[in-house]
Amino acid sequence: MRDTLRIPLEPWPTLAVVAGLALLPAVALAVGQPFYVVFATRVLIYALIATSLNLLIGYVGLVSFGHAAFVGAGAYTVAVLMMAGVGSAWLLWPAAIVVAALLALPIGAISLRTRGVYFIMITLAFAQMVYYLVVSLRVLGSDDGLTLGARPSLGVVALDRDTSFYYVALAILLAALLGMRALLNAPFGRALQGIRDNEIRMEAIGFPTYRLKLLAFVIAGAAAGLGGGLLASLNGLVGPNLLHWPESGVLMIMVILGGTGRLLGGVLGAAALLIAQEALAGQTIHWPLAIGVVLLAVVLFAPRGLSGLIRRGSAGP
């Protein structure tokens, strides 16, 4: 029997891409552009965050317009703990995950009472509340945000070295993608996709749909929190912009651009958007115009996003 929902691993293309990514810092140093290592690290982190949002949008059908709140929660957790003297990433990053998950739990619990467009708007509402709360708190630096003195430490791995940080981010992203694949292939993930396609039927069969959706929402929030913690560690600063609604919007655009409901949709979307910005911003001050035209072209000619272009022949929703 053909298993249509199962996401295959495809070891050879995967290994090729991972090998390519592993060589990237060496190439960047060889061509004398070490700056690109930090840029690539940022792309990897945004890929993680967009992937977490894709879990909600693409696999549960929950269009969250408040994902920046969880990114910000993770980032500010790392910043505050570092200012309090905690320097170990082994403590900081799990703390970012826990705080983001604890924030996602009540927000999800209330937001999941609504559906469709109303869900989009209520998640926005909560994210905006978190934003204004952070802006108003002087301990969190108000409008200016917080500046971290140094990068956290991670045992033997020196995160101060950009290349080391890159490999850590790459390892975390790969682990997250493997984890998400396992989750989606497991009964839990299949139930989520069932809810996306027909929630009432899933309810009728006896699935506790509300609890399953809430669990997915908390998992996605936690992963976004980890992404936020990584961003704070990488950049050495956090600001309220990280929590504001345009950030949530950009994350959503990344997911739609890459392809909703595809395992690599978030990765492709984040990479495409950030690389396009980086490449075009150097050429013209009117680079958003070019991005707009490209996005329009994707909507009109590639309805399934970029991942739909790459794997046109494969089965899937």
Partner 1 sequence: MPPTLIAEQLLNGLQLGLMLFLLAAGLTLVFGIMDMINLAHGSLYMVGAYLAAAVTEASGSFLLGIAGAIVGTALVGVALEVALLRRLYRRSHLSQVLATFAVILIANEIVRMIWGSQPILLNMPAALSGPLEVGGFRYPAYRLVVIGAGLAIALLLYLLVTRSRAGMWVRAGASDREMAEVMGVDTRTLFTLVFAIGAALCAVAGALLGPLLAVQVGMGENILILAFVVITIGGIGSIRGALVGALLVGLIDTAGRAFLPFLFRQMFPAVVAAEAGPAVASMLIYMLMAAVLFFRPTGLFPARG
Provide the binding-site residues for partner 1, judged by CB under 8 A: 57, 63, 110, 113-115, 117-118, 121-122, 124-126, 128-129, 132-133, 135-138, 245-246, 249, 252-253, 256-257, 260, 286, 288-289, 291-296, 298-300, 303
Nearest 5 degrees, angle CA 95-CA 97-CA 99? 65
Is the Cβ of residue 104 or residue 230 nearer to partner 1 in the bound state? 104
Q: Which of 152, 163, 169, 143 is nearest to 238 (CA)?
A: 143
**CB-based contact 76:238 (threshold 8 Å):** yes
Query: Whose Cβ is closer to partner 1: residue 41's or residue 64's?
Result: 64
In the bound state with partner 1, the residue whose beta carbon lies nearer, of 107 and 218, is 107
164 or 193: whose CB is closer to partner 1? 193
| Least separation in angstroms between CB 256 and partner 1 | 4
In the bound complex, what is the minimum distance in angstroms from residue 258's beta carbon to partner 1? 11
Closest contact distance (angstroms) between CB of 297 and partner 1 is 9
Q: Nearest distance from residue 57's CB to partner 1, in Å? A: 7
Which long-range contacts link 151-157 to residues 24+ away (Cβ below 8 Å)?
A: 151/233, 151/234, 151/236, 152/78, 152/82, 152/87, 152/88, 152/89, 152/92, 152/233, 153/87, 153/88, 153/89, 154/88, 154/89, 154/90, 155/90
Q: Least distance from C-beta 51 to partner 1, angstroms?
A: 16
29 vs 125, beta carbon nearer partner 1: 125
For the chain, state the CA radius of gyration.
Answer: 19
Tell me, what amino acid is at 26?
A: A
